């Protein structure tokens, strides 16, 4: 992560400078005027030549303008009354992208509040993320050089205070992106469980369940998915008691109702016996992105000492074809006692969630449960890569999720639940089957999961189209997005912290 610091708004004497400029204020902003004077009018001339007006997302790069500066990057914020945290984050990301040939730089946040200045720093960090663990021959000139960023703010103490929780959220995002980016020969269920266990250093309580424990519990659905792999499955339960105090200062908490997040963690999905086509199968390393989001979220909440009681559960399996693999036509008995006719072994994520969700509500009796899963290709067909589809049995929770998605830019679109879809899950020989026909298949998948919610307030996020990005955005480089970490962190901070 970039080394972020905050300083008073004084004119930099060297290095690179970023000017954040509101639309219509290119000549009146204090730092713009000061730099223009110091560089003999170079800033104003460049703005005029580039027709830079401060329009949101626009940039103007000035190389070696004088006054000891290596470059000046102007980033437009749009009209002053339309600037939001998302605008500030995007401006920070745009600035970071333009500064990668510099080693350090200063961002002049203009008339932005200290909270907005912290948001600029967050955007810059999110954009500067890079997964390069396995690069061994990359040339030095191809590597980004930016390591330190100083953000000028009106009040250093206030800006630092605003930055602290944002940094914890960025840490959680980076953890999620790292997990999703890892190759599947490295990130097995056992390895991912070990990385979850390491989060105890943040104050989380972490429990790891292996195949013996899950078999004893009766996790027939999850264990059925794992049956074909040489890599043993795991379930990880992470607990944070930031409201009741049981994870801080050693206090014993009373009976509380936590909120719960559950993630599908298929560390590699071949489809099992119902094997996928070879083309594009390498993408299935990120079929654990729902679990990756839950892990990153729990790290973010613990990192910023969120005043809330939360549990995060992830079911970790590898779905492989072998002589021991679950077959199409098999019937498995889930932890709930309900039987499932498995007609397609590539509809495996819902089987993992079935056991983990039922265990979660039986053990913790949470206020509500939210699960995340790269569940269906049908959701990508429906919404593309712009929105995640979500389902809920509670309108109030659904509204809160939508608002959090809108505020963070991790957008959601609500999909229906109805008995007419649920009836399509009827099996001839078991309590239900795990697939239906292609029409409405993302909906019937959600209906399947709802059968294991047992009436608890719940939402299901199908993030299949959002876990990985094939293009750069203002704050997301190509690759793993960590979609959902910021959205759910915002949901918690806005509605559920004491």
CB 56 within 8 A of CB 86: no
Number of H helices, E strands in the chain: 15, 19
Instruction: Answer whether 484's CB lies under 8 Å from 297's CB.
Output: yes
CA distance to 20, 23, 31, 54, 325, per residue, from 46 (Å): 15, 16, 15, 13, 65
Give me the half-sphere count of Cα atoms (radius 13 Å) on the Cβ side of residue 483: 32
Residue of 197, 276, 305, 367 marked catalytic: 276
Contact status, residue 225 vs residue 351, Cβ threshold 8 Å: yes
Q: Under a CB-based contact definition with an 8 Å cutoff, are residues 454 and 358 in contact?
A: yes
304 is catalytic: no
The answer to whether 363 is a known catalytic residue is no
The neighbouring-strand residues paired with 209 are 235
Among residues 385, 309, 354, the alpha carbon closest in space to that of 452 is found at 354
Interatomic CA distance for residues 444 and 313, integer angstroms = 23
The encoded tokens of residue 300 equal 């973010």
Q: Which of 264, 350, 451, 486 is catalytic?
A: 350
Tell me the C-alpha to C-alpha distance, in Å, between residue 493 and each of 39, 126, 158, 342: 44, 20, 19, 40
- Burial code (b: 16+ CB inside 10 Å, e: under 16) for 405-421 equals bebbbbebebbeeeeeb
- Rounded CA separation 308/293 (Å): 18
Distance of CA 61 to the CA centre of its chain: 31
Residues annotated as catalytic are 276, 350
């Amino acid at each position: 992560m970039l080394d972020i610091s905050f300083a008073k708004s004084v004119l930099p004497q060297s290095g690179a400078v970023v000017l954040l400029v509101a639309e219509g204020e290119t000549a009146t902003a204090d730092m713009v005027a000061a730099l223009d004077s110091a560089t003999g009018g170079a800033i104003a001339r460049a703005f005029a030549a580039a027709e830079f007006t401060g329009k949101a997302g626009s940039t103007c790069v000035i190389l070696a303008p004088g006054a000891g500066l290596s470059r000046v990057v102007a980033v437009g914020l749009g009209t002053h009354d339309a600037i939001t945290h998302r605008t500030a984050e995007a401006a920070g990301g745009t600035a970071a992208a333009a500064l990668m040939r510099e080693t350090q730089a200063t961002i002049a946040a203009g008339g932005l509040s200290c909270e907005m200045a912290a948001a600029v720093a967050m955007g810059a960090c999110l954009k500067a993320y890079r997964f390069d663990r396995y690069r061994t021959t990359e040339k030095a000139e191809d590597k980004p050089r930016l390591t330190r960023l100083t953000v000028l703010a009106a009040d250093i103490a206030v800006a630092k205070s605003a930055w602290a929780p944002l940094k914890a959220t960025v840490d959680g995002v980076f953890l999620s992106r790292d997990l999703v980016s890892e190759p599947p020969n490295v990130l097995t269920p056992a390895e991912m469980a070990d990385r979850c266990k390491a989060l105890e250093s943040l104050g989380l309580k972490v429990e790891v369940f292996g195949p013996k424990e899950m078999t004893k519990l009766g996790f027939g659905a999850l264990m059925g998915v794992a049956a074909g792999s040489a890599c043993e499955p795991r379930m990880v339960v992470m607990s944070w008691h930031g409201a009741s105090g049981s994870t801080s200062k050693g206090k014993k908490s009373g009976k509380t109702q936590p909120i719960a997040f559950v993630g599908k963690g298929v560390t590699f999905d071949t489809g099992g016996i119902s094997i996928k086509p070879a083309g594009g199968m390498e993408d299935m390393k990120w079929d654990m992105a729902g679990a990756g989001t839950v892990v990153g979220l729990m790290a973010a909440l613990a990192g910023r000492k969120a005043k809330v009681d939360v549990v995060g559960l992830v079911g970790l399996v590898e779905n492989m074809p072998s002589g021991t693999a679950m077959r199409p036509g098999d019937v498995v008995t889930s932890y709930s006692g309900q039987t499932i006719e498995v007609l397609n072994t590539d509809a495996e994520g819902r089987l993992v969630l079935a056991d983990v969700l039922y265990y979660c509500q039986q053990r913790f009796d949470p206020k509500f449960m939210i699960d995340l899963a790269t569940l269906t290709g049908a959701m990508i067909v429906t919404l593309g890569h712009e929105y995640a589809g979500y389902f809920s049995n509670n309108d109030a929770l659904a509204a809160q999720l939508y608002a959090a998605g809108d505020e963070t830019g991790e957008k959601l679109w609500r999909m229906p639940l109805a008995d007419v879809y649920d009836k399509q899950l009827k099996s001839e020989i078991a309590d239900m089957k795990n697939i239906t026909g292609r029409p409405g298949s993302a909906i019937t998948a959600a209906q399947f999961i709802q059968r294991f919610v047992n009436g608890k307030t719940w939402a299901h996020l199908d993030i299949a189209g959002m876990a990985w990005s094939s293009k750069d955005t203002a704050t997301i480089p190509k690759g793993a997005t960590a979609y959902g970490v910021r959205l759910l962190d915002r949901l918690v901070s806005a509605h559920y912290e004491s």
